[in-house]
Amino acid sequence: MYTMCTYLSLYPIKNVTTKIMSLHSKKILRIYTGAIIGALLLGNSASAATTYSGKQLVSQSTHTSDSADFAADRPVERLWDGCTVSTPNCVAASPDRPSFFVEFDLGSLHTLEAARLFADADGTSFSQTWSFEYKAEASDQWTSAFKDSDAYANGWIERPFTNITARYVRVTVGANRAQAAAPEARELEIYGTPVPPPMPPILPSIDPIQTSASTSQTIATSSEIIAPALPLPIPIPIVTLPLPITPAPIIVGTFQANMQVTVMQPYSIRLRADHTTNAVILARKNPGAIALVLEGPVATDGYAWYKVKFTSDNSIGWAAGEFLTSTTSSGRKYEKGATVTTIANVSVRDNPAGAKVGQQVSGSRGIIVDAIPAYRAFMGVSWWWKIDYTTGPDGWSAQNYIK
């Protein structure tokens, strides 16, 4: 294949004919003659390249998919390798196919300026038509900018665009299979500029309300009608809130000195030499072991620690209050079998302060099945009640939400 359009643009037809006749005995006669016929009949030769303000967008990085039927020695990557020479190693071709397509993702919305195809009309494989489609979102349907436009030429074919905004592009090149061995092209370019992101809304500035110290009164005369004075706008006070201050941790203790406590079921606790989880373990105490509170609470390592003395062996040490409960019934309001009613939406748990299994709405009724004093003031809760509710989930609810 040879490119003759450039040659023809440099010499008049008369000179070319004279040149051909002078080379009558040489083999290249038929080549020049073919070029002349192509220039006269095709009328779609190379055109001067237009300068565009946008960026050239076709590349390996924007290429996403294609018809996957390109020849091994004429792959799709030839469309953006910068080579426009009329040789097999500069073209992309799809043998034994009526057309091939290439798709690109531009990465964001772009205002498209133009598409350029370096067409090929040499040899048995050539470009005859080309089409251009686009869409803004991947889920959109393709919109056609032009379809089956003439592409039978040796050189650049340009199609400028107006009012096309897209992110995804598809270009199809076709050839009449009755005439061409395969559709092929040498180069493809698409020009465009990114669409700028939308500007954030500009909120109008609000001037502070101005009020006068005193309001003047207008006295009506017989010669004029005075409209009633409108009330002045009430100034809106601007309250400046102080920055939040992280309060010091509050140690909430259910137990006081000389209070008798017991190890909660089903726990077995460690009695330590100090109020920390790293302190030496002095003893282990089983559920139900009774002790007298000596000091506390002291908050360390996420626990409220109490210094206690166990009555069984007079052992003294520090124990985590989370696993102790009072042996007294102070604060108990109800006995087993009593009927109670929720006074708010209340959580129902599998154990005292345990996992939530459901919720009862305000006004739900139930019967007290069991009770246990809180091992500490859990959000102000002093007792947990196991309730058999009339409807809905049954379980443990906090005293604060029933009556």
pLDDT per residue as tens digits for the range 233-256: 777 767 666 555 444 343 444 688
Residue 210 has pLDDT above 90, yes or no: no
Q: Please indicate, yes or no, whether residues 290 and 358 belong to a single structural domain of this protein.
A: no
Is 290 part of a structural domain of the chain? Answer: yes
Residue 261 has pLDDT above 90, yes or no: no
Is 233 part of a structural domain of the chain? Answer: no
Per-residue pLDDT tens over the stretch 282-317:
999 998 888 999 998 898 888 889 999 998 899 999
Q: Read off the CATH number of the domain in which 305 is found.
A: 2.30.30.40
Q: Which of 301, 326, 351 delimits the end of a domain?
A: 326
Q: Please indicate, yes or no, whether residues 264 and 175 belong to a single structural domain of this protein.
A: no
| Neighbour-count burial of 310, counting CB atoms closer than 10 A to its CB (0-12 exposed, 13-18 middle, 19+ buried) | buried
Q: Please indicate, yes or no, whether residues 278 and 181 belong to a single structural domain of this protein.
A: no
Is 234 part of a structural domain of the chain? Answer: no
Is 333 part of a structural domain of the chain? Answer: no
Is 301 part of a structural domain of the chain? Answer: yes
Residue 260 has pLDDT above 60, yes or no: yes
Q: Which of 171, 194, 217 delimits the end of a domain?
A: 194
Confidence category of residue 17, pLDDT binned at 50, 70, 90: very low
Q: Please indicate, yes or no, whether residues 106 and 15 belong to a single structural domain of this protein.
A: no
Q: Which of 299, 326, 353 delimits the end of a domain?
A: 326
Q: Please indicate, yes or no, whether residues 37 and 59 belong to a single structural domain of this protein.
A: no
Is 152 part of a structural domain of the chain? Answer: yes
Question: What percent of the chain clears pLDDT 70, i.e. is strictly above it?
Answer: 71
Q: Read off the CATH number of the domain in which 346 is found.
A: 2.30.30
Indicate the residue type of 345: N
Q: Is 199 left (phi over 0), alpha (psi -120 to 50) or beta?
A: beta
Number of domains in the chain: 4
Residue 116 has pLDDT above 90, yes or no: yes
pTM over the 0.85 mark: no
What average pLDDT score do residues 326-336 get?
66
Is 273 part of a structural domain of the chain? Answer: yes
CA dist., res. 70 & res. 151, Å (int):
19
Q: Please indicate, yes or no, whether residues 34 and 150 belong to a single structural domain of this protein.
A: no
Residue 129 has pLDDT above 90, yes or no: yes
Q: Please indicate, yes or no, whether residues 37 and 109 belong to a single structural domain of this protein.
A: no
CB-based contact 136:165 (threshold 8 Å): yes
Instruction: Tell which wins on pLDDT, 324 or 226.
Output: 324
Q: Please indicate, yes or no, whether residues 190 and 59 belong to a single structural domain of this protein.
A: yes
Domain limits for position 20: 5-42
Q: Please indicate, yes or no, whether residues 189 and 83 belong to a single structural domain of this protein.
A: yes
Q: Please indicate, yes or no, whether residues 89 and 186 belong to a single structural domain of this protein.
A: yes
Q: Read off the CATH number of the domain in which 63 is found.
A: 2.60.120.260
Q: Please indicate, yes or no, whether residues 169 and 79 belong to a single structural domain of this protein.
A: yes
Q: Please indicate, yes or no, whether residues 62 and 188 belong to a single structural domain of this protein.
A: yes
SS3 39: helix
CB-based contact 63:102 (threshold 8 Å): yes
